[in-house]
Structure 1
Amino acid sequence: MHRIIEWFTNNGVAANILMFAIVLTGGYLGLNKVVLREWPDYLQREIEVGVTYRGSTPAEVEESIVMRLEEALFDVAGIKEMQSRASEGSGRVTLEIEEGYDMNVILDQVKDRVDSINTFPVEAERPRVSQDTFTERLMAVVISGNLGEKDLMELGEIVRDDLTALPNISLVSMKVARPYEIGIEVSEETLKRHGLTFDQIVQAVRNSSVNLSAGSVRTNAGDILLRTSNQAYNYEDFSKIVVYTREDGTRLTLEDVAKVNDGFDETPLISNYNGRRCVVLDVYRSGDQNLIVLANEVKAYLEAKQPTLPEGVLLSYWSDDSERVKQRLSTLAGSAITGFILVLIVLSLFLRPSLAFWVSLGIPIAFSGAFIMFYLWNVSLNLSTLFAFILVLGIVVDDAIITGENVFRRMQDGETPLDASVKGTQEVAIPVVFGVLTTIVAFYPLQAMTGFMGNNLKQISYVVIPVLLFSLIESKLILPAHLKHCKNIGATGGNDSKTNFITRIQRRIATGLERGIERFYRPVLDVCLRNRYVTFSVFVGGLAIVWSLVETNRIQSSFYPRIPSDQVTIRLQMPAGTPFETTDSHIRRMEKIALDYKEKVNEEFGTEMIRNVFATAGGQPMY
């Protein structure tokens, strides 16, 4: 190691090439290749089983749906945790799978167990078994206007198709909107008049609305596949379904014996955006495109699409997740600049300004090196890694400070800048390397953590480890080559006619520190050394007190601190069985209060302090 340090110190060109290679490569990869997203990719190990049981109370769902699912699934190997929820009209069981088990195998086993249950109520729909996937929502697109529900849905489908066609948009799903439904109403009087039963109507619809494969016919020119395409999708298709054929050949169609309604699901649901009816499209990203760039592309589409919409229809967005990433990036950039300046100022008080500058330069070099490793490890720049950059900012220049201070001390002792740079760096090389390695070892176990929380903690190690390693490279190979160019300050002591303002400040600070050491630190240190067992007991006791405060929740802790949000959510939950009209009337009152308050606040401050008000009745709050 000593020879490598000496070679790079004597060959400044090589050190500069290494420095520019790290900075330019890391800068290019960080700006163009490293993926920017809100959260790191995570493979969710969860399986969800859902059953719809319309018209049932939560108690009925728990007894007839949820409990039967739990009995069938509780002993499936690999299930770490089972969570169940019974609500009005549906039940859901979520299974968390342990690490090491094949998700596909567990999924097949769960499907087999669920399919074997034959005690569900007759009115219950077929169970849905699916594996939860982690998708990153980009933003919510809102289409609002004084239009009917059907017109808004059709307009929403057009916008959804346009957004899906954009590059790197993986999914666009419609929210707070009732799904389409074909309703068939048959009166008992009509059935008697035609001599039919309700089961005959059901069987006719089931047999006619289906696509069937009829095999194939082999010919000399090749095989011809036979298939009947008779699946009904809309009002016209269902109306023409033949229910009964008379002996004279005349046909009785569904529209002759029943009322066919082309409408929406009967579940009541109303959503308003700033007082006008709306539909919402959740936009999800895919691929490796920059989150902020992709959000800007969606906003550009909305701006271009707005003039083509009917009068009175507004196309806007809600809850842009890229804004949070922008805020974290701004915090990181501000912290890095502030840290650089503070390190430069503090070091200038003890070292020469030029020496302090080269020590501070270790921050951008180490961060650039981390971006190189991000690209090689396929790690994204997300909220967790941004937090890690801010976390490591305070320790990234520790090794450079130790090296620079030792070189400066040797210069003060009369050594030439070249000799001081080589020998000063070599002298502290081993302790500095081991100091950095111990920090790396402390963070390395984070890479073995699993689960959603573990995946976020793992991101911290992806930042800390490469930053410290490149900081070590900078302090041992690049920094000495720059420190050798510092002017020879000679041995200090006695009067120096060439001292300037900064030098006088440095001497005053050094004198003050020495006095503080002699008057306060040394006496306390002597007492602690003479009473080492008492000192040790005091620190252990203090640690125990702090630990007890945390364990008894007197000092509250949270992995994710509560960060002020830009949204205020009010939830209203009515007792089971409450008519929808009653719930909707309360929601409308709350919405009116919010809209009036929005107008009042915006007028008072002269700016749009409150941007939007979203209200929904009959469903869960949007976000």
Structure 2
Amino acid sequence: MIEKIAGYFVDRSFLVNLISGFVCIAGLLVFFNMKRDLVPPFEYQKIDIEISAPGASPEEVEEFIAFPIEETLKGLPGVEKMTSNSRNGSLALTLYFKASFDRMSEMVEHVKSQIDSLRPRLPEAVRYTNVKRSRRDQVFFTWLAFQNFDEENVEHRKHIRRFSKTMGKIDGIVLVDPEIRPRDLYIEFDAAKLEKYDVSLDQARSFLAQVFQMKPIGQLSKDESTLNFEIKKIQRTPKGLEKLPLAGNRIGSVVTLGDVAQVSYKLTAKANIFHYNGDESVGVLLLKDRSSDSIDLKEIFEKKLVVFNKTLPEPLSVGAVSDGPQFIIKQLDVLRNNAMFGIAFVFLLLIIFLNWRSAIMTLAGLPIAYLGTMLILSYLGIDIDLISIIGLILVLGILVDDAIIVSERYVENLSSGMTPRDSAIQSVRALIVPVTGTVLTTIVAFLPILIIKSEMAIVLRAIPIVIIAALLFSWIESFFILPNHLAHFAKKARQSRIESSFAKIQRGYRRLLASTLRFRYLALIVIGGVFALSIYIAKEKLKHDFKLRVSSQRVAIYPILKKSESLDFTYEKIKALEEFALSLPKSQVSVVTTWVGEIWKDGRRYHGNRFAKINLYIPESASSPSKVKKQLVQLLTERLKTFKTDEFQEVTIVEQRQGDKEEKKDLVSIRVQGDESSEFEQIESEIEKAALKTMGISKYVKDPDAYQETWRFQPNTHALVQYKIDLKSFRRQLKHLF
């Protein structure tokens, strides 16, 4: 049966070449139309609930918002756990579902309806509620720096708005987010003037709230025409608002907003300083959608950026800090370079041990296997991304194994005197069963990732699909296409000199195999020992760290002062370090960014005048980023010996990757849950003592936001009644002060 099938394909060159051509042409067409992106568009098995309640303390959020929602959502099907995080003015609640739960869309709608039904019981302060399934709708594209930007300069702000508008029009860009302070209208009331004109703060606030609310009137339809009615909007400028009447009396005198308050544009308080290559700048984050091709979008964006930079006045300019698409380009380069090296190496070996015709026919199966895989990926909706490229790189080394074995047996059959046709058929008959077994073994090894339901399996889904598809196409090519090509193109046996060299290798292998079989129990012990040793090394010595790290590598310096009176004071103290970083060769450091006021460190967000961070980005062109990072750490360590003073609490150096988010690196987070009766401070003290005694723990870092100081106002209810002040008005008056 096997011989008949093999003979059928060996004798029909037109059919074999037609199949090969179809797979290659269709695969190429599909490949050039496949989307290239950083990460696959997967959805998490969890639902995020975000609720905003401005002005509420963490305790109030927990008691009046989190607890009722948690009680309402208890017992939902498929939920493994529920977590909530109550902070100043907001609640973040997450429902984690089992990986096997397949009714997520239905459950999102159910959770929405449950919270909507609960809305009357929630405080009036709740302004915003959002329920959604956690997913990657927006993907990191690039992070830019607007150099020499002055937030106080109105013209500069116009340029950054123009930039946002220009780049936001590019198909695929869904968010352009300049990290600038908002310039808002501020109304500062004068208490003495309010008393003079007999206008209460609550009265003024209520009137202003009505002015800024949308109050539609309606429509009037007659025949084929429709007439809309609306109230003319008040001019929302300082001068326009100052003319706004607040109160009046019977004799016609009117109190305007300008009589009791000052209206002006102001920036919010400065929370941080950002420098790009030594120039004061603001960051601009760009996100893309999931459907656009990252590399094509990068080309369009870079052309637009060049044109835009030419329109900016001196000294403004826009430069890239971190480039997302460049990462996928590098991975594709790795795949291409590995493939070219592997093809050249295998081709050389096949020429040495077989002949050049057999070598060409053997390597011809590589594009068939890869392009056939592209057809499967396209059919299943899998694009070229970080995960699928990992699969393509993994399978690269084993794709030609089957073809090499078949070619070697074919040449051996030719050398024994068989005709090319018989040599091809007998090669298939002898090898199809054992080779199929090895292919199935590899497939079985990767099948659990497809079968087991887990978040990790969802993320890694493309890897087994790529490997299984590539192996199947390689198997088809090796036993139904390659034999035909060998029989019609490689009709000569290998030369005697090469055959003699290969025979020596065969004899050596036979002697080694005979010795292994003779001392088989010893061989089993040695193999078992090597296997056990490899498990130990993998478990104890190798880092278990799977992250979709996407972006530039860097070295970070954390200079933290003991105290600081302002952001500018801190910057002056660390300026010498920034200048040293800028003086380093461009071959080691491409970009230097400096942050003062807000940083990530030890898995926590620290904010305050005394905190700073300097990032030194490794060039994308660096052939060995790890080596460059070690050189930088050594240079910086030497520099810090002369830099540290008593003013600094600490100055540390850390090797990182952009997007690494240090809270996940070499960090164990401990979460303690309990009710109001729990003594959290005492529990934390005991945990700290135990942690510092544990081997391998170098530092215990407390959460700076774990405990917050709270002022509690105890209303005098008798006085409130005496002065005819209701509790709601009293609370609103207090809220105005903060």
Give the alignment's TM-score, normalised by structure 1.
0.84
Partner of 1:485, secondary structure, is helix
Residues 212 and 229 in structure 1, CA contact (< 8 A), matched pair in contact too: no
CA distance in 2, matches of 1:279, 1:67: 39
Is the CA contact (8 Å cut-off) linking 2:143 and 2:321 kept in structure 1?
A: yes
On the 8 A contact 1:210/1:231 being kept in 2, the answer is: no
Which residue is equivalent to 2:307? 304
The structural deviation recorded for 1:168 is 1.9
Structure 1 residue 569 corresponds to structure 2 residue 542: no
- Give the residue type in structure 1 aligned to 2:258: E
Q: Distance in 1 between matches of 2:302 and 2:472?
A: 40
2: CA distance, partners of 1:270 / 1:51: 28
Deviation at 1:188, TM superposition (A): 1.1
Q: Quick check: 1:209 aligned with 2:212?
A: yes
Q: Per-residue deviation at 1:111?
A: 4.0
In structure 1, the residue matched to 2:583 is 600
Match of 1:569, SS? strand
- The answer to whether 1:95 aligns with 2:104 is no
**2:257 corresponds to which residue?**
254
Pick which of 317-326 and 507-516 moved more.
507-516
Please say if residues 204 and 242 of structure 1, whose CA atoms lie closer than 8 Å, have aligned partners that are also in contact. no
* 1:155 counterpart (138, 146, 159): 159
Unaligned runs of 5+ residues in structure 2 are 601-657, 660-738
Determine the structure 2 residue equivalent to 1:496: none
Q: Following the alignment from structure 1 to structure 2, what is the Cα–Cα distance between the partners of residues 506 and 612?
A: 57
1:44-76 alpha-carbon deviations (Å, 9 max, x no partner): 43414254766x9xxx63x34356654334452
Preserved CA contact (<8 Å) 2:42 2:459 = no
Q: Which amino acid aligns with 1:523?
A: S
Q: CA offsets per residue over residues 158-198 of structure 1, 9 Å max, x none? A: 111111111222222223x2234322111210101111101
Find the counterpart in structure 2 of residue 527 from structure 1.
Answer: 519
Q: CA deviation at 1:200?
A: 0.6
**Residues 476, 546 of structure 1: alpha-carbon distance in 2 compared, 3 angstrom cutoff:** closer
2:139–2:290 Cα contact (<8 Å) kept: no
Counterpart CA distance in 2 for 1:428 and 1:397 is 15
- Give the equivalent residue in structure 1 for 2:498: 505
Quote the residue 2:641 is aligned against. none
Please list, as runs of the form range in 1=range in 2, the aligned pairs for 1:317-328 lying within 5 A after superposition: 317-328=320-331
What is the aligned partner in structure 2 of residue 197 from structure 1?
Answer: 200
Secondary structure in 2 aligned to 1:523?
A: helix
**1-structure distance, mates of 2:599, 2:403:** 54
Query: Relative CO higher for 1 or 2, CA cutoff 8 Å, sep ≥ 6?
Result: 1
Cα distance in structure 1, aligned partners of 2:328 and 2:541: 33
- Give the drift of 1:283: 1.6
CA contact (8 A) 1:349 1:506 kept: no
* Distance verdict in 2 for CA 1:250–1:444, change over 3 Å: farther
Q: CA shift at 1:4, angstroms?
A: 4.0
- RMSD over equivalenced CA pairs, Å: 3.3
Q: State the shift of 1:583 in Å.
A: 5.0
In the TM superposition, 1:140-151 aligns within 5 A as: 140-151=143-154
Alignment of 1:207-606 (within 5 A): 207-228=210-231, 230=233, 234-236=237-239, 238-266=241-269, 268-286=271-289, 288-448=291-451, 453-486=456-489, 488-489=491-492, 503-518=496-511, 520-528=512-520, 531=521, 539=527, 543-544=531-532, 546-547=534-535, 550-551=538-539, 553-560=540-547, 565-571=552-558, 581-590=565-574, 592-602=575-585
**Contact 2:327–2:551 (Cα < 8 Å) also in 1:** no
Q: Deviations over 1:510-562 (max 9, x none)?
A: 213313431x331122221xx4xx765665565455445555x3444333498
Deviation at 1:355, TM superposition (A): 1.2
Query: Are positions 1:172 and 2:137 aligned together?
Result: no
Instruction: Please tell me whether the aligned partners of residues 65 and 123 of structure 2 are also in contact (alpha carbons under 8 angstroms).
Output: no
Matched-pair contact (CA < 8 Å) for 1:69–1:93: no
Assess, with a 3 A threshold, how the Cα gap between structure 1 residues 563 and 535 changes in structure 2: closer, same or farther. farther
More displaced stretch, 535-544 vs 202-211: 535-544
Q: Which residue of 2 aligns with 1:615?
A: 594
Compute the displacement of 1:362 (Å). 1.7
* Farther-moved stretch of structure 1 (406-415 vs 198-207): 406-415
Aligned to 2:41: 41
- Residue of structure 2 in register with 1:493 after alignment: none
CA 1:240–1:439 in structure 2 vs 1: closer, same or farther (change >3 Å)?
farther
Shift of 1:455: 3.0
Structure 1's 84 and 156: CA in aligned 2 closer, same or farther, altered over 3 A? farther
* Structure 2 counterpart of 1:586, one-letter code: T
Q: Alignment identity in percent?
A: 21
User: 1:586/1:509 Cα in 2 relative to 1: closer, same or farther (>3 Å)?
Assistant: farther
Q: Closer, same or farther in 2 for the Cα pair 1:194/1:377, shift >3 Å?
A: same
- SS of the equivalent of 2:199 reads coil
Aligned partners of 1:205 and 1:241 also within 8 Å: no
Give the Cα–Cα distance (whole angstroms) in 1 for the partners of residues 110 and 183 of structure 2. Answer: 33
| Counterpart amino acid of residue 400 in structure 1 | A
2:192 corresponds to which letter in structure 1? E
**What's the secondary structure of 1:204's corresponding residue?**
helix
Unpaired segments of 5 or more residues in structure 1?
491-498
The alignment partner of 1:406 has SS state of helix
Q: How many pairs align?
A: 588
CA pair 272-85 structure 1, distance change in 2 beyond 3 A: farther
Q: Aligned equivalents of 1:608 and 1:110: distance in 2?
A: 57
Letter in 1 for 2:413: R
Moved more, 64-73 or 275-284: 64-73
In structure 2, how many angstroms separate the alpha carbons of the residues matched to 1:593 and 1:94?
Answer: 44
- CA–CA distance in structure 1, aligned partners of residues 475 and 505 of structure 2: 31
